[in-house]
Amino acid sequence: MRAMRLHAIGQPLAADDISVPQARNGQLLVRISACAVCRTDLHVVAGELAEPKLPLVPGHEIVGRVEQVGERVENFRVGDRVGIPWLGWTCGECEFCKSGRENLCERARFTGYTIDGGYAEFTVADARFAFQMPDTFDDVSAAPLLCVGLIGYRSLRKAGDPKRLGIYGFGAAAHIVAQIARFEGREIFAFTRPGDDEAQSFARRLGASWAGGSDEEAPEQLDAAIIFAPIGALVPAALQNLKRGGTIVCGGIHMSDIPSFPYRDLWQERTIASVANLTRRDGEEFLELVARVPIKTETQMFPLERANEALEALRCGRLRGAAVLVP
Ligand SMILES: [Zn+2]
Ligand SMILES: [Zn+2]
């Protein structure tokens, strides 16, 4: 099968011809029809996340059809439509797994990072961590739901119950979370790179009542803000716009250092939180919700072979919505 693989940190992915993996006990073999490209893939390729499997097939927003089921698989049959997310395996035994926080499992394995992912024609996945995908979406539109959508959802839940929500970095994750937030009756304030008129009008089209540069002051104080851009300096910037008691949620897996700021900007019970990974429960809740909204995902398709180009477009901020690789 064709697979785009990372052989060394910082190198472009190589187009390899490798054998189709086999589904072992509890696993599914999936024929991939779409795999979205996530910012985390950039961090993996650049070595900003420690010790990826090498060589590695990146990609953790996978939609496809079950081609083969291993022994002891009960929740899927051959031909089923399946979604494979970032969380690929957890131990089930640690304090985090046992308290509904498997996203924090210290032994967790991750699709497209510590196990092979979806920049390929086939992949295998642990059936317990795969999702049935709602019929409301075609394969390409569904793919970005599986990470940027899910992480956005977890970030939104972590933000509490904000009436006025700021979103910093208006890309793939933001375009999904904004639709959910609007559906829930929240008011959106979108912060983009200063001067990025195109991103600001994209945000307004998705229902933001205000859009401006990340260096601007919000017209009203915010109850919460989610930061998707991997820029630590946005944390003190967002604090300037945050009401007392408000929460800032950092939605990324990697961020540049946060510059120091006066304690009084945090005081009055403002909170800064991060979001890590997802739980299967998040996935089930989220997929049920997106079918009801229903979410529209904006996507830009790339043939599998052009994965490097898709990553570069994401890195430069040239995408509106999500890049999706199609084998
Ligand atoms: Zn665990
Ligand atoms: Zn991701």
- Average pLDDT, integer, range 51-76: 97
- Token pair for 15: 């187009």
Ligand number nearest to the C-alpha of 37: 2
In a shared domain, residues 166 and 226: yes
CA of 112 to the centre of ligand 2 (A): 9
Spell out which residues have Cβ within 5 A of ligand 2, the ion: 38, 40, 147
Around Cβ 248, how many Cβ atoms within 10 Å? 27
CA of 39 to the centre of ligand 2 (A): 6
The per-residue pLDDT for 319 is: 83
CB 176 within 8 Å of CB 145: yes
pLDDT in tens, 217-234: 999 999 999 999 999 999
- Average pLDDT, integer, range 244-259: 95
Q: Per-residue pLDDT for 134 more than 90?
A: no
- Token pair for 55: 């060589």
In a shared domain, residues 125 and 250: no
Ligand number nearest to the C-alpha of 90: 1
pLDDT in tens, 311-320: 999 998 888 7
Ligand number nearest to the C-alpha of 148: 2
Q: Which domain holds residue 242?
A: 150-274
CA of 100 to the centre of ligand 1 (A): 10
Q: Per-residue pLDDT for 268 more than 90?
A: yes
pLDDT in tens, 145-203: 999 899 999 999 999 999 999 999 988 889 999 999 999 999 999 999 999 999 999 99
**Total tally of structural domains belonging to the chain:** 2
CA of 268 to the centre of ligand 2 (A): 33
The per-residue pLDDT for 320 is: 74
What's the CATH number where 289 sits? 3.90.180.10
In a shared domain, residues 189 and 322: no
Ligand number nearest to the C-alpha of 107: 1
In a shared domain, residues 43 and 74: yes
The per-residue pLDDT for 321 is: 77
- Per the rule left: phi > 0, alpha: psi between -120 and 50, beta: everything else, 6 is beta
Cα radius of gyration rounded to whole Å, the chain: 19
In a shared domain, residues 101 and 123: yes
Of 8-17, 204-213, 316-325, which range is least confident?
316-325
In a shared domain, residues 263 and 316: no
CA distance 251 to 200: 20
CA angle 171, 144, 225 (to 5 degrees): 40
CA of 104 to the centre of ligand 1 (A): 7
The per-residue pLDDT for 59 is: 98
Q: Per-residue pLDDT for 65 more than 80?
A: yes
CA of 27 to the centre of ligand 1 (A): 19
In a shared domain, residues 134 and 155: no
Q: How confident is the model at residue 19 (pLDDT cuts 50, 70, 90)?
A: very high
In a shared domain, residues 43 and 90: yes
